[in-house]
Chains A and B, each alone.
Chain A
Amino acid sequence: MTAAVHLQDVVKRYGSVTAIHGVSLTIADNEFFTLLGPSGCGKTTLLRMIAGFEAVTAGEIRLFGDDIARLDPNHRPVNTVFQHYALFPHMSVIDNVAFGLKMQGIDLAARRTRAGKMLEMVHLSHFADRMPAQLSGGQQQRVALARALAPAPKVLLLDEPLSALDLKLRQAMRVELKTLQQETGITFIFVTHDQEEALTMSDRIAVMSEGRVQQVGSARDIYETPDNRFVADFIGETNLLEVDVHSVTDGRASMTLPGGHPLTCPSASATPGRHALSIRPERVTIAATGELKATVDRVVYLGTDLQVLSRLADGSPFTIRLQNAARTTIPEAGATIGLHLEEGAARLLAD
């Protein structure tokens, strides 16, 4: 099957500054694909290159097999939902939604019907004749979605569309977006810096940093088996320990933890030497017989969770998350505790 979008060695340079360093990605048809990364990582630039607002310096962008990298935006069968919606302020809601259809030369009656259907889909039928300025942020967002989906694009691009909404609305829109994607069967490429957004909606996520794709995988893949230090650190909370790997046999690396306790963990490609070990705070339990010893600095109450900030024998900080259950014993500040790593809690990172 042909991929919906295939990027091959895409490079973007602004003068002497390289924003995108040869990115290659394959996005399947009907996939909810997210580009996730901190601001300035190149995720928006990549999206704008797919839309056609930025020229590619080198590389190919294929849409269902056709190279579109050098086409004008109006010749690419993809539509965009902009960060601040960019609804045309001088046109009514229905005219905004019908704009793409009008440009495609569809006659008035047909485009009115189609635009009406789109508004129905985003539950805004009764706002058809309003002007965009008369709508709330959330409603404008839904009009922007209807407008971008009306011409039935092959791929929908979304540039941080939820960032301007307040928390409650954002959470509701996440569900709505995911439903919309499944109902329409259109491939969504979603750009965000919000990892929670990425983890809750995406089929697959590409984590980006400094113009490069660091890792591509499902939410579970990137959270539980991060490839490198950046991904482990950027996605969720983690403890990064410096460890010495002394041998690797049968795909398992043996190392010594701070405090002297030995540990082996699976690793496909590790070589002996100094490496970072990622341990998620919620995969650690307090047990006197644990592999690590730590001194508690502070306990932070977070409602559903408790965060225990502690220090290991070598002085490095270590965070533990405990569920705020009735049976949880809360350690005192200053106490020395043992920490037990659950099976598979530790992940040896490439770099």
Chain B
Amino acid sequence: MKGVRHYPGFLSITVLCLTILYAPLIVIMVYSFNGSTSITQWGGLSLRWYGEVFTGPEASRFGQAAWNSITIALMASTAATIIATAAALAMVKGGRFRGRSASFALINLPLMVPEIVTAVASLIFFTTIGLTTGYGTILIAHITFCIPFAYLPLAARLEGIEATYEQAARDLYATRAQAFRLILLPLLAPGVASGWLLAFIISLDDFIITNFVKGAGMETLPTAIFGSVKQGIKPNIMAISTLMLAASVLFVTAAYLINRKGRQTP
């Protein structure tokens, strides 16, 4: 049987899709190294906009925003991963219990609900219970929507771990806690790592929900970039975007590699 690549028009459709997806990213990456102040005219290769990011007039604003983004992403992904690990253990190893399907739906709901709805709902919720919007509310919101992203690779990994490993450990005189710590956790580690990395990048990237719950004067990198773009796109934005893109690619690749490595020795 001929593969899909032999269908008529396969090549042109593929090229078209890839162009639409990646051309803007490539343009941004290329122009971030532009020497001129124009965003459309090429003025030779230069790193001046990268310098501008770290030393220019907006450097302190972007620096603070980046700091907020990274610290929130670190804490949110860690908290979400811990919650997701507990959830995955209950869902996969907990046998059948009442409300198992409902729990599964609840864990993964944030993936299905439109982000804007979550954003509005979160804002209403925080103001209703009297929480002042700011760093704390961003963190809480991020932990919440990161859970399913951490959960999915974790649960997939856990499902692949046969129950006999734990039984073998128990049979060889390990207590329940020892079997978990010495056998299950190391086997689950690649899933935990890729779940954490995915959650981290999702948190780092988020704009819509953050923008709603951040409160006045508090910025993360995406909201700071948006604020800056509203006054016109400057080349330094392209440099920041390229840096963020590089970080994302790095993290996603790491998550993929860790997961694949884990799979070779099930």
B95 at the A interface (CB under 8 A): no
> A residues within 8 A CB of B162?
84, 86
Pair A80/B265 contact, Cβ less than 8 Å: no
Query: How many chain-A residues does the 8 Å CB contact rule pick out?
Result: 25
> B residues within 8 A CB of A331?
none
A77 (CB) vs chain B CBs: closest residue: B173
Q: A86-B164, A103-B178 are in contact. Are A79 and B172 (CB under 8 A)?
A: yes
Query: How many chain-B residues does the 8 Å CB contact rule pick out?
Result: 20
Interface hub of B170, B186, B264 (most chain A Cβ within 10 A)? B170
- Number of residue pairs A-B, CB distance < 8 angstroms: 64
A351 at the B interface (CB under 8 A): no
> B residues within 8 A CB of A147?
172
> B residues within 8 A CB of A82?
164, 167-168
B171 at the A interface (CB under 8 A): yes
Pair B168/A103 contact, Cβ less than 8 Å: no
Give CA–CA (A269, B264) in the complex, Å. Answer: 60
Pair B171/A89 contact, Cβ less than 8 Å: no
> B residues within 8 A CB of A256?
none
A51 at the B interface (CB under 8 A): yes
> B residues within 8 A CB of A53?
167, 170-171
Give CA–CA (A148, B264) in the complex, Å. Answer: 25
Give CA–CA (A72, B174) in the complex, Å. Answer: 10
Pair B172/A151 contact, Cβ less than 8 Å: yes
Give CA–CA (A282, B170) in the complex, Å. Answer: 47
Pair A86/B173 contact, Cβ less than 8 Å: no
Nearest CB of A to B264, in Å = 8
B92 at the A interface (CB under 8 A): no
A53 (CB) vs chain B CBs: closest residue: B167
What 1/0 flags go to B165-198 for Cβ under 8 Å of A? 1011111111110100001001100000000000
A133 at the B interface (CB under 8 A): yes
Pair A151/B173 contact, Cβ less than 8 Å: yes
> A residues within 8 A CB of B174?
74, 99, 103
Pair A86/B178 contact, Cβ less than 8 Å: no
B178 (CB) vs chain A CBs: closest residue: A103
Give CA–CA (A86, B265) in the complex, Å. Answer: 12
Q: Give chain B's interface secondary structure class.
A: helix
Pair A79/B170 contact, Cβ less than 8 Å: no
Q: Which positions 101-128 of chain A face chain B at CB distance < 8 Å?
A: 103-104
> A residues within 8 A CB of B186?
90
Q: A103-B173, A103-B178, A151-B173 are in contact. Are A89 and B265 (CB under 8 A)?
A: yes
> B residues within 8 A CB of A74?
170-175
A89 (CB) vs chain B CBs: closest residue: B265
B266 at the A interface (CB under 8 A): yes
Q: Which positions 121-149 of chain A face chain B at CB distance < 8 Å?
A: 131, 133, 147-148
> B residues within 8 A CB of A73?
167, 170-171
Q: A82-B164, A133-B265 are in contact. Are A90 and B172 (CB under 8 A)?
A: no
Give CA–CA (A100, B170) in the complex, Å. Answer: 9
> A residues within 8 A CB of B164?
82, 84, 86
Pair A86/B266 contact, Cβ less than 8 Å: no
> B residues within 8 A CB of A99?
169, 172, 174
Give CA–CA (A84, B165) in the complex, Å. Answer: 10
Give CA–CA (A148, B169) in the complex, Å. Answer: 11
Nearest CB of B to A108, in Å = 15
Q: Which positions 24-48 of chain B face chain A at CB distance < 8 Å?
A: none
> B residues within 8 A CB of A151?
172-173
A230 at the B interface (CB under 8 A): no
B165 (CB) vs chain A CBs: closest residue: A86
Pair A100/B265 contact, Cβ less than 8 Å: no
B179 (CB) vs chain A CBs: closest residue: A74
A144 (CB) vs chain B CBs: closest residue: B168
Pair A104/B173 contact, Cβ less than 8 Å: yes
Nearest CB of B to A156, in Å = 11
Pair B266/A80 contact, Cβ less than 8 Å: no
A100 (CB) vs chain B CBs: closest residue: B172
Nearest CB of A to B139, in Å = 34
B173 (CB) vs chain A CBs: closest residue: A103
Pair A90/B168 contact, Cβ less than 8 Å: no
Pair A89/B266 contact, Cβ less than 8 Å: yes
B161 (CB) vs chain A CBs: closest residue: A89
A88 at the B interface (CB under 8 A): yes
Q: A103-B178, A131-B265, A133-B265 are in contact. Are A86 and B168 (CB under 8 A)?
A: yes
Q: A86-B165, A88-B165, A133-B265 are in contact. Are A72 and B170 (CB under 8 A)?
A: yes
A73 (CB) vs chain B CBs: closest residue: B170
Give CA–CA (A53, B166) in the complex, Å. Answer: 10
Nearest CB of B to A48, in Å = 9
Q: List 22 A-B contacts (CB under 8 A).
A: A51-B171, A52-B171, A72-B170, A74-B172, A78-B171, A79-B172, A80-B167, A80-B168, A82-B168, A86-B168, A87-B168, A88-B169, A88-B183, A89-B187, A90-B186, A90-B187, A90-B265, A100-B173, A103-B169, A103-B172, A103-B173, A148-B171
> What 9 A-B pairs have minimum CB-CB distances, sorted nearest first?
A100-B172, A103-B173, A86-B164, A86-B168, A73-B170, A89-B265, A74-B173, A80-B171, A103-B174
Residues of B within 8 A of A (CB): 162, 164-165, 167-176, 178, 183, 186-187, 264-266
Given A74-B175, A88-B183; 6 other pairs, CB 8 A cutoff? A53-B167, A82-B164, A84-B164, A89-B265, A103-B174, A151-B173
